[in-house]
Amino acid sequence: MKIALVGATGMVGEEMIKVLEEFNFPCSEFIPSASERSVGKELTFKGKTCKVVGLKEAVALQPDIVLFSAGASTSLEWAGEFAKNGSFVIDNSSAWRLYEDVPLVVPEVNGHTLAPEKKIIANPNCSTIQLVVALAPLHRAFGIKRLVIATYQSVTGTGVKAVKQMEDERLGIKGEKAYPWPIDLNCFPHGGSFAEDGYTTEELKLLHESRKILEAPELKVTATVVRIPVIGGHSEAVNIEFERPFELSDVRNMLETAPGVIVQDQPAQNIYPMPLTSHKKNEVFVGRLRRDNTVDNGLNMWIVADNLRKGAATNAVQIALMLKERGWV
């Protein structure tokens, strides 16, 4: 089993290495790859030193699975080259997510969309992944009519420069900025770039990707994305309007038995999901479950997950494991 990792030196790439090691992923050869400026650098995987290679060399080595975390332009240019060579490509960028013939996969939700002939597989946006893991069992039971979402997103979702900006601000250091405004002691409703209708690309991802994964093309979704000065994960305040009546006890039971979900919902004891406690965890945490009595069949919930783990690296590795379990690699 040959595994390649494109974007191995980036923040998500580094997390993918950790997750592969923690899952003890079966791998006879690990091929780290990155841009030309990183070629020759040394990385450690399972105690062994590996040198970073260029993309052409990585393609020629014919890996069984390629994990991509190097940006959309790199994925669009190179994913097809790997796929033509017989590799499965699991891409963490936005490049392939909305292509009709490319599976957009969260294993707990829609692993059935994987197929041996579909060599390029898209990893959804981090905010989408944690959302649908929590919503899928409820959607199957009660039918979701409308979602109103506000996300409170970690600076790690922007990358190393954003984390450095926040750390510099806390130390009073003037440095390179990833954001147009200070992030420490601040938050701003801006994730991605703004479209003509006033929504951002991060907000539109929640709309289009959740529709595709839940196989609900008419699902009504509206979202506001907010960037906040934390590093442990993304949080989401989610208001749901169901098609059918529900009992709160049934909702709780479904979530407690849903794969990949941990319910933390004892507000009287100050127990609820937080980025502080989701950091470095692979699960999706759900709490603050309560009815919305302003609409028929309304529910409020709070969802938190580490955006570098379940929101990126963990989900990609889980897809790779699913390919292995099905005997396709």
Name the catalytic one among 27, 50, 139, 234: 234
Name the catalytic one among 27, 126, 187, 208: 126
Task: Write out the DSSP string of 54-99.
Answer: -HHHHHHT--SEEEE-S-HHHHHHHHHHHHHTT-EEEE-SSSSTT-
Q: What are phi and psi of 257, to 5 degrees?
A: -105, 0
234 in active site: yes
- Give SS3 for 281: coil
**Tokens read off for 74:** 């790199």
Residues in the chain, total: 329
Distance CA 150, CA 247 (A): 24
**Tokens read off for 238:** 């989610």
50 in active site: no
**Tokens read off for 12:** 């998500």
Q: What are phi and psi of 73, to 5 degrees?
A: -65, -40
Residues catalogued as catalytic = 126, 234
